[in-house]
Structure 1
C-alpha cells in the first residue's frame, strides 16, 4: 500500500437485509478497522440494517426512495458534492447500475473508480439498462470487481473491457466460529430473500417427499420477501403446516446456523451465495443446486456438498434424504466444508481490497490479467 485512502462506497441503501448491502458493510468495516478513512453514501435512507464501524461516516442523498428519473440531476449533484466535501480518492459503486449516475457526477475529479458487481454477468434482474451500465463500467471505471472467476471470464469475453476486471469473492461476514455446529437436532435450514430466484417453492415441494420418509425432521426457511404469501399457501396446500416454518429474517446468524444440522440452497441462480460459506463455516453439510454462478465455483460435489440440478424437485428430495440417512457422510461433508470456508475469512479478503485500492497497475503486479488496450464496444 502506498498510503491510506479516502474511500467512499456508493450504494442504493443499507436499510435492506440483502447480500450486497451486507457485504458493503462488512468490507467497509474491515477497511475502516485497518485505518482507512471510509464513508458510505446511500442514495436514500440513512438507516442501516448492519452495524457500522464507529469511524465510518454514513450519509444519504434522500430520506426515502425517490423517482430517480425525476431526481437524476439532483442525484448526480449530490454524489459530486459528497466526493468533493469528503475529499474522496476512491469511489466504489456497489452496483454497476450506479455507473449511470457516477460517471457524469465525477467528471474532472480524478477519482479512482471501482464498480462492484454482485450479480452474475448473464442476469440483468429484469433491467435492460443494466447491460448498458456494465458497458459504461467496463469502459470508464479503473477496475470492475466480480465475485467469481467464471464471471471474470464472461466480462473479458463479452465486453473486452478497458477496465481491469478482478475477482474478489465475498468474505465471511463474521469470524470463523471456534467450533462447528453440534448438529444434534433434526433441522434443515435454508436462508435468503423470499423471491422466485431462491427456489424455495421447489424446496417446499421436495420437503413433502422428505417429510413422508423422515417425519421427525423440520425445514426452517429464514428470510422475507414478496413470495411469503405464495409459500405460506403452498405449505398449507401440501399439508406441511408445522413441518415447514417461515420465521422471518434471522437477526442472530450464529444461533441460527448453530441450531441446524443440514443447510440447503435451492436457488435458480446466485451471484455468489454468501449463505453457503456461512453455513460451511459452521460445518453444516450442504445440499445445493448447481446454479450459476457461486455454487458451481464454491462447492466440490461429493466432497463438501451434495449438488443437484436446478428446479429438480425429486433430485433435491433424494439428496436431502441421502444426507439425513447417512450421518457419517454428513459429518465428512460438513468437515470438508468448514475447512474450505476458512479461505473466505475477512482478513485475506480485506488485504485483496487494499491491493485494489492502489490502482490497476498494483493489482496487475499481483497476478491479475491486464485488460486489452482496444475495447470492442
Structure 2
C-alpha cells in the first residue's frame, strides 16, 4: 500500500509536521507500506524533522505559492502525482488541503483521510475551513481527530457519511533519560509565534512573576510572524534578558532536560505536541484549559495545573506557587508519566494501520 501524506510544506518546524514525520517514519518500517510526502511546496532544501531515507518527497510547485489562487492547477498537479506514483491513500495533514484532494478522488481512485490538527470550532488562518470540514464529512473516506472530545464535536455538528476515528499524537521518548532537574531556574514555553499560541498573554504572566524572582529566567522556543511585536512588548514590560525568545532551535531536548516547568498559553489547540514532549521529559505543566488538548495530557493538581482560559492572574499565581515550592514541582514531576501509555507510539501506529486497512477494503 502506498500512503501519501499531503502537507502545505513538510520542511516546516511546526507540531503538525513533527507528528506527521513521526507517524510516517514508523509506518514505513512496517512491511507492505510505501510512504511519501506530497507538499504544495518546500521552502527549505531539508526538512526540520528528520525523514526516513526510504520516504520520497514530492512538491507540487518549485516555489512558495498560495494554492487557492491556482486552484484548478493545484488539483491537476496533485492528480498527476497521485497517478504517476500510484498513491493508494492520501492523508491530508491539514484539513484545509481537503479542497484539493477530495475533487480528485473520482478520477484517481485514491482514498482520502482528513486529519484534523486543530478542533472543530477553530478556523485559523482561513475561514473556509468550515467548508472543507463539511465537505470531508460528506466525501472523505475517513476523518481522524486527535481527541475523543473533538470526535464528538464532529459527530454533533456534521452528518458524517464515512468513518471517524480519534487517534492521539504519539509521545516521543527522549533520546536520553535523567532525573528531573529540581535545581533548575528556567521556565520553558514553545510553539509558533502566532496569535493562536497566546504568547502575548504569556508576557502578561511573566511581567507579574519574574520581577520578584531575579534568579529565574523564562525561555520561549520557536519562531513566527509575531516575533517582532512580542519582543517589543517584552522590552516595554522591562523583561529584556529575563524573558527570552530564542527562536527555532534544533536541540529542544536540551531545554526540556533543564526546565523547571513548562507553560502553555494557547488560545486553542488540537493535541499539542509540545505538551507531550514536556510530559515525556517529566516536567510539571501549567496550561490554559482550552477546549481540546491540554486536559488530555495534564491531570489538574497531579502533574500540573489547568487554568481557566485566559485567566492570566490565576496562571501567574500557579507559576509563582511552583517557583516557590520545589517539593510541589518534584511531586508533579514524579507523576508526569502516570497515563503515558495512551500516547505510546506502537499503540498509535496500530490504530493508523487499522484506519488504512479499513478505508482500502
TM-score where L is the length of structure 2? 0.94
- 1:88 Cα deviation after fit: 1.5
2-structure distance, mates of 1:13, 1:273 = 19
2-structure distance, mates of 1:143, 1:106 = 13
**Larger relative contact order, structure 1 or 2 (CA cutoff 8 Å, min sep 6):** 1
For the pair 1:137 / 2:133, whether they are aligned, the reply is no
**What is the aligned length?**
358
1-structure distance, mates of 2:79, 2:273 = 32
> 1:329 corresponds to which residue?
328
1-structure distance, mates of 2:306, 2:347 = 28
| Greater mean alpha carbon deviation, residues 95-104 or residues 333-342 | 333-342
> 1:368 corresponds to which residue?
none
> 2:218 corresponds to which residue?
219
SS of 1:190 mapped into structure 2: strand
2-structure distance, mates of 1:108, 1:197 = 37
> 1:39 corresponds to which residue?
36
> 2:114 corresponds to which residue?
115
> Where does 1:52-131 land on structure 2 (aligned, <5 Å)?
52-131=51-130
> 2:10 corresponds to which residue?
14
- 1:160 Cα deviation after fit: 2.1
1-structure distance, mates of 2:233, 2:66 = 35
Question: Quick one: structure 1 residues 102 and 361, their matched pair in 2 at CA, closer, same or farther if it must change by over 3 Å?
Answer: closer
- 1:291 Cα deviation after fit: 1.1
2-structure distance, mates of 1:173, 1:82 = 31
For the pair 1:307 / 2:306, whether they are aligned, the reply is yes
SS of 1:246 mapped into structure 2: strand
For the pair 1:280 / 2:276, whether they are aligned, the reply is no
Question: Quick one: structure 1 residues 156 and 361, their matched pair in 2 at CA, closer, same or farther if it must change by over 3 Å?
Answer: farther
- 1:178 Cα deviation after fit: 3.1
> 1:196 corresponds to which residue?
195
- 1:360 Cα deviation after fit: 5.0
1-structure distance, mates of 2:67, 2:265 = 34
Unaligned runs of 5+ in 2: none
- 1:108 Cα deviation after fit: 3.6
- 1:297 Cα deviation after fit: 2.4
- 1:104 Cα deviation after fit: 1.7
- 1:265 Cα deviation after fit: 0.7
> Where does 1:137-216 land on structure 2 (aligned, <5 Å)?
137-175=136-174, 177-216=176-215
SS of 1:9 mapped into structure 2: strand
| Greater mean alpha carbon deviation, residues 337-346 or residues 55-64 | 337-346
> 2:265 corresponds to which residue?
266
- 1:207 Cα deviation after fit: 1.4
- 1:10 Cα deviation after fit: 0.9
1-structure distance, mates of 2:206, 2:355 = 44
- 1:101 Cα deviation after fit: 0.9
Contact 1:177 1:282 in 2 (8 A): no
1-structure distance, mates of 2:91, 2:278 = 28
SS of 1:10 mapped into structure 2: strand
The CA RMSD measured in Å over matched residues stands at 1.8
Structure 1 outlier segments of 4+, above 6 Å: none
- 1:175 Cα deviation after fit: 4.8
Describe the superposition over 1:61-90 as per-residue Cα deviations: whole angstroms up to 9, x where unpaired.
101122424422221122112112222221
2-structure distance, mates of 1:143, 1:87 = 20
Contact 1:42 1:60 in 2 (8 A): yes
- 1:250 Cα deviation after fit: 2.1
Contact 2:182 2:326 in 1 (8 A): no
Unaligned runs of 5+ in 1: 363-377
Describe the superposition over 1:259-317 as per-residue Cα deviations: whole angstroms up to 9, x where unpaired.
21111111111121111110011111111111121012222111121121222221111
> 1:371 corresponds to which residue?
none
Contact 1:175 1:346 in 2 (8 A): no
Question: Quick one: structure 1 residues 169 and 212, their matched pair in 2 at CA, closer, same or farther if it must change by over 3 Å?
Answer: same
